[in-house]
Structure 1
Amino acid sequence: MVGTASAQVSAVFGGADPLEGVYDRQNQKFVDLVNERGEGEIKLEFIRGEQLGNDVQVIEQVMSGAVQFYGDDFSFYANWVPELNIVSWGFLFRDNAHVEAFINSDAYKEAVEKLRVEQGIRILAAGPGQIRVMVSNRPIGSIDDLAGLKMRVPEIRTYLALWETLGTSPARVAWGETFLGLSTGVVEGAEGGISSLYGAKFHEAAKHVTRTDHVRIIAQIAVNDAWFEAQTPEIQELLTTAAQDAVKWQTDTVTAEQAETLEKMAADGATVTEIDVAPLRERSEVAVEKLEAEGFWPKGLWASIQALQ
């Protein structure tokens, strides 16, 4: 048994990823591990999809304590911790090992501690997630083809700046409305993790999938810090270990599934294309100095992350 409390601990995990998307499955894995290992002393309820709102809305509910857990793309926390704008900047990370090096860095630790102290959210575990690619209703063969493309971007300031830098005309459209937007031409392109795009069927509305691989997502599972601190040390350890195991499962699953998922998109009628991303990377690097001057993240942070081994 994990503890000696007589009453069962109950909590809610709020999802925001499409059903059967990789973070939806990661979060279900976490909930299942906690409920199984807790041996009846703790019970988590998982509310899937966007029943509680989008990512930002669910995070705000975790901050307030109305919901206890959340898991998805780490970059959404940049809305409250500006230093984290850096993680959604294009071509920041070379590979998964580079992502891990960042998670073990002082810069990461300082940012998540600021999130905990100022916003009441504790990150239980984080690890490499999906690679982000783009879909569009016309072929993208080079950076020139991005010029003026009406591009759906998430509610993250850095994504907006990135796609402006790459030449598109970004538009803020809710994730749940993007399929319709692509189908009707309200937007001409969108981007996201490979599994998330597939789960939302965006490749059916915009049949050109381009391997821009512009961002390596950091996956995470978080908890309301005050709620966590109120639990026994045994339950805290259970939750932390389960989160680490679920995020690790996600990383392994994403790595194994990405090529298969792209093949499924092609089988559904999409055209999957690899392009030379060097011009995109170069343009993103040229913009770094300007963004640091504008306060997107602290000066020198991009260079320090590049130096991580």
Structure 2
Amino acid sequence: MKFKLPMLLGATAAILVSAFTAQAETALKWAHVYETSEPFHTESVWAAEEIGKRTEGRYKIDVFPASQLGKEADLNQGLKLGTVDIIISGSSFAAREYAPIGVTYYPYTFRDPAHLIAYTKSDVFKHLAKGYEDASGNHITAVTYYGTRQTTSNRPIGKCSDMQGLKMRVPDVPAYLAMPRACGANTTPIAFAEVYLALQNGTVEAQENPLTTIEAKKFFEVQKHIVLTGHIVDHLNTLVSKTVWSQLSDADKQIFTEVMQEAAERATKIIEEREKKLVSTFKEKGIDVTEVDKGDFEKTVVEKVALEDLGYKKEDWDAIRAVK
């Protein structure tokens, strides 16, 4: 019987270690609506694994892509309900909690991606991010360049007025709607996951998204024209729920922030490189890619859509425009 005691003690110790490990590990859900091929997913997976490493396994983060845990509105709501802990989502959704942060979606606010990234390091960004956190409790840890939004259509478009009467899918967000409606399009809100089918069956004849999204979601397969309207230089926020953020130690907050910002930088670089190549790629596929006079579109938007009518503050917009 003597040989059984060490075995028993060893088994007991193993059970205790296993129980301690299970207790020490915090499982978190990170969700988004993007495809597994997109950098918003691949870099989220990298970040989830990296946080696990840097916290010595105290956090296990599973990433759920492609609307597996709900559409974007559901994911934002999920931060409150506790069904998700971390999400990637646009400021257009954050603006539902704190309207002023959506000012970045007013058409032609940013000159280019470099201007956007400079904004994320500015005082006006810190001010708007704090306003969102005060209103929602959720914390913005990082910002990723999503891409510059362009228009695809089955109708040729050379100027703003050519969009008159165009059946166009646009997210049901005031700033996204500003340019199409100012140009006379008939806008329809269709869930992101359903856009391809809607274009294919003719429910709508146009949509707007960055070139990288047009490629990833294969919208070019069901559209004849890509029109480089460049109306919004778009971005995504990495958001941690109020519940999770409030429970993190200062050291862990720093780790989460550093890793998520590194992931955002990595994804931003990938998007910028892809965008530079995609115009020629689409032309090679036989898609008509058209340059337009952006000044014509911007002038029409400014004349027909007031910043204040969208819940934005002109001083915020002016401050963003002044960022170098």
TM-score normalised to structure 1 length: 0.91
Q: SS in structure 2 opposite 1:80?
A: coil
Show CA shifts across 1:16-75 (max 9, x none). 123323322332232232234333221100111111111111011012222110013333
| SS at 2:155 equivalent | coil
Matched, 1:249 2:266: yes
Partner secondary structure for residue 237 of structure 1: helix
**SS class of match (2:236):** strand
CA RMSD of aligned residues (A): 2.1
Measured in 2, the distance between the counterparts of 1:18 and 1:154 equals 18
Instruction: Determine if contact 1:219/1:247 at 8 Å carries over to the other structure.
Output: no
Q: Which residue of 1 aligns with 2:139?
A: 122
* Letter paired with 1:308: V
Q: Return the alpha-carbon distance in structure 1 between the equivalents of residues 73 and 202 of structure 2.
A: 26
Q: Residue 304 in 1 paired to residue 319 in 2? A: yes
1:11 to 28, 40, 48: 28
1:206-243 C-alpha deviation (Å, 9 max, x unpaired): 12111111111123211012212212333222111110
1-structure distance, mates of 2:118, 2:26: 35
Q: Specify which structure has the higher proportion of helix.
A: 2
Q: Is it true that 1:214 corresponds to 2:264 in the alignment?
A: no
| Conservation of the 8 A alpha-carbon contact between 2:138 and 2:245 | no
Structural mapping, 1:103-182, within 5 Å: 103-182=120-199
Instruction: Give the match for residue 277 of structure 2.
Output: 260
Aligned to 1:29: 46
SS of equivalent residue, structure 2 residue 24: coil
* Higher deviation after alignment, 270-279 or 196-205: 270-279
Q: How does 1:282-297 map to 2 (within 5 A)?
A: 282-288=299-305, 290-292=306-308, 294-297=309-312
Distance in 2 (CA, whole Å) between partners of 1:193 and 1:75 is 15
The DSSP-based 3-state class of the residue aligned with 1:148 is: coil
One-letter amino acid of the structure 2 residue matched with residue 192 of structure 1: N
Could you give the per-residue CA deviations for residues 238-260 of structure 1, whole angstroms, max 9, x where no partner exists?
11111010001111111111122
For the 8 Å contact 2:150–2:210, the answer to whether it is kept is yes
CA contact (8 A) 1:140 1:146 kept: yes
Please tell me whether the aligned partners of residues 228 and 236 of structure 1 are also in contact (alpha carbons under 8 angstroms).
yes
Do the aligned partners of 2:200 and 2:222 also contact (CA within 8 Å) in 1? yes
Aligned equivalents of 2:278, 2:42: Cα separation in 1: 15
Residue identity matched to 1:41: R
In 2, Cα distance between equivalents of 1:167 and 1:300: 28
The answer for unaligned runs of 5 or more in structure 1 is: none
Compare 75-84 and 296-305 and name the one that shifted more: 296-305
* Secondary structure in structure 2 of the residue aligned to 1:112: helix
Contact in 2 for aligned 1:152/1:189 (Cα 8 Å): yes
Distance 2:150 2:270 in 1: 17
Q: Determine what percentage of the aligned residue pairs are the same residue.
A: 25
Residues 169 and 105 (structure 1 numbering): CA distance in 2 closer, same or farther, change over 3 Å?
Answer: same
Q: 2:39 & 2:172 partners in 1: Cα distance?
A: 20
What TM-score do you get using the length of structure 2 for normalisation? Answer: 0.87
Corresponding residue to 1:233 among 231, 234, 250: 250
Matched, 1:95 2:112: yes
1: CA distance, partners of 2:279 / 2:52: 33
| Residue type of the alignment partner of 2:143 | A
| Aligned mates of 1:100, 1:51 — CA distance in 2 | 29
Distance in 1 of aligned mates of 2:102 and 2:252: 32
Structure 2 Cα separation of the partners of residues 262 and 54 of structure 1: 29
State how far apart, in whole Å, the 2-side matches of 1:111 and 1:123 are.
10
Q: Tell me how far apart the structure 2 counterparts of residues 228 and 184 of structure 1 sit (CA, whole Å).
A: 44
Q: What is the Cα deviation at residue 115 of structure 1?
A: 1.9
Rg larger for? 2
CA distance in 2, matches of 1:286, 1:22: 37
2:30·2:61 contact (CA, 8 Å) conserved in 1? yes
Aligned to 1:272: 289
Post-superposition shift, 1:122?
0.3
Q: Equivalent of 1:60, from 67, 72, 77? A: 77
